[in-house]
Structure 1
Amino acid sequence: MSDHTAVRANTLAWAASHLAAGERIVRADVLLGGITAEMRRLTIGSLNGDTRTLVLRSYVGVGNANHALTREAAALTMLAATEVTAPELVGVDPLAAECEYPSLLMTHLPGRAVLEDKGVEARIPLLARELVAIHAIQPIEQPPIYETLTTADTVVTPPGVNAQAWSAAIEIIRRSAPSYEGRYLHRDFQPGNVLFGGPITALTGVADWASPCWGPADLDVAHCATNLAVLHSAAWGLQFVSAYEAAGGTLAAGPAERQYWLVRDALALSEDIDLISQAWRAAGRPDLTTRAAERRLDAYLTTLLNAT
């Protein structure tokens, strides 16, 4: 899908200023799946006919864009010295001093996000190992402490769900958060932000580093588990938790503590499930209507409450 004209001229000029001598932008295509930012794949041509690709992320009408882009730029710079495969930072204009909107330019990772059911069993151990590697990062400067994405008073209970289960889950997150050993968190580690290439069993990188923070490993694990549960089934969400530990990751010791983080993230998805399911449909999962996603989230939440 070519969408060159959708990128404003001043933004294209800013991106072009970061290219090598003799290079120019020859094409801009929409990248599907983004929720909070507009994403474009820029094809860069050189005088000898070779091409390479970059990714342009622009925040249009989004609050705290400056904050998000500054954090992402710092994360990409730090990750370049780690074993975690992430895009390389090319340029950033967090205040839109030169671009139409706050923007960040980075290298393009090979591969694609894989959301279909086929092959999920093989992908889960790879996702788990990659998240363990992320949590092992020891940043020179600790990122901000995590922020909760929902509260007991903002949870959106979908129609037709197990009302008793949802009420019990809401009461769980009214409690104070358990103590934890801090880790470096991606904060949006889920199948939509992990790329696979060639055979689906080859993980090629992790994208979307706009929200790194410091907090419990359980929080990242719970987020990926929730997404897997809604994309595939509750069983695959729980399988990811087991795979994380099998890969060497450490979670909260007590069942009640683990349940707290898992339930909290499941409830958080309820507030944006319409927007998230819309992005999934655009990325190749037409079966995941909002109602279908709500039913799977309900089944997962009920499973979490029955597991202890």
Structure 2
Amino acid sequence: MSTHDEAQALRPLTLAWVSRHLEVGERIVRTEVLHGGITAEMRRLTVGTRDGGTRDLVLRSFAAPFSVEHAEDRLNREAGALTLLTGTGVPAPGLVAVDPTAAHCEYPSLLMTHLAGRTVLADEGLQARVPPLARQLVEIHAVRPAERPRKYVTLTTADTVVVPKGVDAAAWAAAIDMLRRPAPSYEGRFLHRDFHPGNVPFDVPPSRPAGARITGVVDWTAASWGPADLDVAHCSTNLALLHGPAWGLRFAEAYEEAGGVPAAAASERLYWRVRDGLACSEEVRLVAQPWREAGRTELTTQVVEERLDAYVTALMDALG
């Protein structure tokens, strides 16, 4: 976009707020809408520097009416997480500024540095990407914050699960019954809470997909305190839907191989994985749409529902 177009892309108050957080002599020269998010608008802002070069920032804004209600909490969580992670070795964006209540912008917003790399959702090279994904999650869980973030939230209940058509009815009924039980006790860990391939950019050598290297972890708006198994479960579900149920099962193994410490009892580990799989049943359409926009056009709602059914059934088979 040209500088003139920028005035149209960024609303006036937001543009003025961002400009106040640039270095002297810098200006926004281009913007690009980033796709893949569900609840927030994301833009990459290219900033012209005094020496004639450029640098990139990312702007997150909660503009949709359904998302504004929770924007203050989510942006405060992300700002707190980005501040906490500075210097920890976990590659996260750097916080530049945050306006969680839209005191200065048209909408609640957060400005952060841009990470190199790109999200990789293709099947090719997946076997080589799973181990670094698992190692990265272990590193996140090793962070020990001086002040704990808020406790994790799980909204799904036995009554809100959406059972797809044509599923293994007995497996789903048994899985839903699990949600009626009390959650297992756990040793708390710092959680990303939305850890999956769409939030982990990689640097992928064009001639060697197997040589992919993680460049960062983004979207810390749900950072929480809770069981490590919940993060493992969420990534497992996403891998199962993106690449097939076997990859969901494989990620949990890779996490342990990387030194992660899940719950001691297999039944407790499976509880969190079943819970996350059932939670996904309520938002299959929302989850699948960004994947199709990113090029995985074969992942129709029906295909994703079929994979979810196969994954839930596999988990219940493992439970015996």
Query: TM-score, normalising length from structure 2?
Result: 0.94
Q: 1:48 deviation in Å? A: 2.7
| Residue 124 (str. 1) matches residue 130 (str. 2) | yes
Is 1:34 the counterpart of 2:37? The answer is yes
Take 1:252 and 1:64, find their aligned partners in 2: how far apart are those partners?
Answer: 31
Paired position in structure 2 for 1:295: 306
Measure the CA separation in 1 of the matches of 2:33 and 2:169: 40
1:241 is aligned to: 252
SS of the aligned residue for 1:154 comes to: coil
Partner residue of 1:231 out of 234, 237, 242? 242
Trace 1:265-276 onto structure 2 (pairs within 5 A).
265-276=276-287
Q: SS of 1:126's equivalent?
A: helix
Deviation sequence 1:231-273 (CA, Å, 0-9, x none):
0011111110000000000111112111111100000001111
Q: Please name the residue that 2:100 is paired with.
A: 94
Letter in 1 for 2:93: P
**What CA distance in whole angstroms lies between the structure 1 residues aligned with 2:287 and 2:155?**
14
* Aligned positions of 1:42-121 closer than 5 A: 42-60=45-63, 61=65, 62=67, 63-121=69-127
AA in 1 matched with 2:171: A
**Does residue 1:253 correspond to 2:264, yes or no?**
yes
Count of equivalent residues = 308
Q: What amino acid is the match of 2:30?
A: R
Q: 1:36, 1:135 → 2: CA distance?
A: 25
Equivalent residue runs for 1:170-249 within 5 Å: 170-199=176-205, 200=209, 201-249=212-260
Instruction: Show structure 1 runs of 5+ residues with no match.
Output: none
**Which piece of structure 1 moves more, 196-205 or 48-57?**
196-205
**Identical positions, percent:** 63
Of 155-164 and 13-22, more deviation after overlay is shown by 155-164
Deviation per residue, 1:110-134 (Å, 9 max, x gap): 0011111011100000000000000
Q: Which amino acid aligns with 1:279?
A: P
1:24 aligned residue (16, 23, 27): 27
Structure 1 position 149, deviation (Å) = 3.2
Give me the CA root mean square deviation: 1.2
> 1:104 is paired with a residue of what secondary structure?
strand
- How far apart, CA to CA, are the structure 1 residues paired with 2:217 and 2:50? 31
Give the whole-Å Cα distance in 2 for the aligned partners of 1:269 and 1:56: 27
Deviation at 1:139, TM superposition (A): 0.1
In the alignment, residue 246 of structure 2 is paired with which amino acid?
A: A
Return the offset for 1:159.
Answer: 1.4
Q: Distance in 1 between matches of 2:43 and 2:114?
A: 10
* Structure-1 residue corresponding to 2:164: 158
